[in-house]
Amino acid sequence: MGAAHAREIATEGGCVVIGDILDGEGRALSEEIGERARYIHLDVTSESDWANAVAFAVAEFGRLNVLVNNAGICTAGSIEDFTLEDWNRIIGINLTGQFLGIRAARQALIESAPSAIINVSSTAGMEGIAGLHGYTASKFAVRGLTRSVAIELAGKGVRANAICPGTIATPMNEGLDVSGFNPMNRKADPKEVAKLVTFLASDESPFISGADILIDGAELAGHGPLLSL
Is 39 one of the catalytic residues? Answer: no
Q: Give the distance from CA 112 to its chain's centroid.
A: 21
Exactly one of 39, 50, 135, 140 is catalytic; name it.
135
Which residues contact residue 62 at a Cβ distance below 8 angstroms, ignoring those fewer than 6 apart? none
Q: Residues 169, 187: contact at Cβ < 8 Å?
A: yes
- Strand ranges across the sheet with 115-120: 66-69, 115-120, 158-165, 212-215
Element (H, E) at 164: strand 158-165
Cα distance between residue 161 and residue 107, in whole Å: 18
For the CA atoms of the chain, what is the radius of gyration? 18
* Catalytic annotation, residues: 135
